[in-house]
């Protein structure tokens, strides 16, 4: 299994649709999980951290399943401005993330159409 694996997409959805991205990771000792957003030719920007209990930020909901080593991101009522590449990010370190090295998935491209 790759360290972090995502469906590359692209996901082409109409405005207002609900879209879900999935991600799997290989290191069962990973402790930190994030979703980043990257617009074309721009830097990655933190979208949200992912907590064990699941968390929500407006239209965005992130879930973590440690047993299955699986992370998800749900976007409800998608907007044109949501068009971007979404990166699943997991910390690499075995011993609690002391070095903070993150593994970035290759990303899932989302295109929201009018």
Residues that bind other proteins (CB under 8 A): 31-32, 34, 36, 41-46, 49, 87, 89, 91, 93, 96-102, 104-107
CB of 46 to other proteins, least distance (A): 5
Q: Minimal distance in Å, beta carbon 57 to other proteins?
A: 14
With respect to other proteins, which residue has the nearer C-beta, 19 or 88? 88
* Nearest-angstrom CA–CA distance, 65 and 33: 11
Min dist. Cβ of residue 114 to other proteins (A): 25
DSSP string covering 32-73, please? -EEEEEE-TTS-EEEEEE--TT-EEETTEEEEEETTTTEEEE
Q: How many CB atoms lie within 10 A of CB 20?
A: 12
């Amino acid at each position: 299994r790759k360290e972090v694996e995502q469906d590359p997409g692209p996901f082409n959805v109409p405005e207002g649709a609900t879209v879900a991205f999935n991600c799997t990771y290989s290191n069962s000792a990973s402790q930190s999980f994030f979703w980043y957003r990257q617009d074309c030719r721009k830097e990655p920007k933190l979208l949200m951290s992912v907590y064990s209990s699941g968390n929500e930020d407006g239209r965005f909901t992130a879930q973590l399943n440690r047993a299955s080593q699986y992370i998800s991101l749900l976007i409800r009522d998608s907007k044109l401005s949501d068009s971007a590449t979404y990166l699943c990010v997991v910390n690499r370190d075995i011993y609690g993330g002391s070095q903070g090295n993150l593994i970035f998935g290759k990303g899932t491209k989302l295109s929201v159409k009018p």
